[in-house]
Structure 1
Amino acid sequence: MQTMLCKREEKVDLFTLRRLEKILDGYIAAKVPRDVRSAVRLTYEFERNRLTLFEERPDYPKREWKRIALVQFYLEAGMWSVYAKSSGGEWFLVDTILPDPDFERQLEQVEIDQDGLFWIS
């Protein structure tokens, strides 16, 4: 397991890390119905002060899962910022979702997706 760090190299305590895992595991279980889990799954990865949520789909010729990054959450100075990917593949700050210390609130804003940046309708 990787430890999350913010840019000032402050470690996120283990309790917070476990809490984020529980939040994401619950979100994923609710978001992806059981009957489609063989065709699509959501996963996440922590790296330093960044949490990335991925969509994975089977790539049958290669017999592996193809991973596409959907959204990134950055923790800086105790606030979570949300980033989306442009059509050119570059990450940009979503300025309609203001930084917030509550990760669940940020995840909720991604789920609502008022700007159509994360989920294909």
Structure 2
Amino acid sequence: MDTFTVRRIEKILEGYIALKVPRNMRASVRLSYRWDEDGVTLTEERPDEAGWQSVPIVQFRRQRSLWQVCAKSSTGEWETVEEIEPHFDFESQLEQVEADPQGIFWTA
């Protein structure tokens, strides 16, 4: 992935994270992301006695210039979320995850 795209996605994610987690909650929960060869994974982190424990929430994979949204299956494997069509715009995919009409990513 080219440097421009990576930096653009990082700015979008950093803005999203800043809005998603209120400042007064950041000592007990935080969101982070990590890159791999195909895309980026958004994780939730919570403190415990050993440090911060990470739980992956969603993975965004870029394939043929389209962003696919993936969630963990019951077996722990990443699977494409069929309800969210691949799209060229990362921000659009992040908005779909935030809306989460199927209740796949966020719990109440």
Task: With the length of structure 1 as denominator, give the TM-score of the two structures.
Answer: 0.86
**In 2, distance between residues paired with 1:42 and 1:96?**
24
AA matched with 1:15: F
Are 1:95 and 2:82 matched, yes or no? yes
Q: Post-superposition shift, 1:88?
A: 2.9
Question: What count of residue pairs does the alignment treat as equivalent?
Answer: 108
Distance in 2 between the 1:14 and 1:91 partners?
Answer: 25
Amino acid in the other structure paired with 1:46:
W
Q: Which protein has the larger Cα radius of gyration, Structure 1 or Structure 2?
A: 1
The 5-angstrom pairing of residues 24-43 of structure 1 reads 24-43=13-32
- What's the Cα RMSD here? 0.8
For 1:90, the aligned partner's letter is E
1:65 is aligned, of 52, 75, 98, to: 52
Q: How far 1:107 moved relative to its partner?
A: 0.2
What secondary structure does 2:13 align onto? helix
Aligned counterparts of 2:39 and 2:10: Cα–Cα separation in 1:
13
- What are structure 2's unaligned runs of at least 5 residues? none
Counterpart for residue 8 of structure 1: none
Look up the match of 2:45: 56
1:17-40, Cα deviation, whole Å (9 max, x unpaired): 111010000000000000000000
Question: TM-score, normalization: structure 2?
Answer: 0.96
**Aligned runs of 1:11-30 on 2, under 5 Å?**
12-30=1-19
Distance of 1:88 and 1:29 partners within structure 2: 31
d(CA) in 1 for partners of 2:81 and 2:7?
A: 26
Offset of 1:50 from its aligned partner? 2.0
Q: What is the CA-CA distance between 1:59 and the residue it aligns to?
A: 1.0
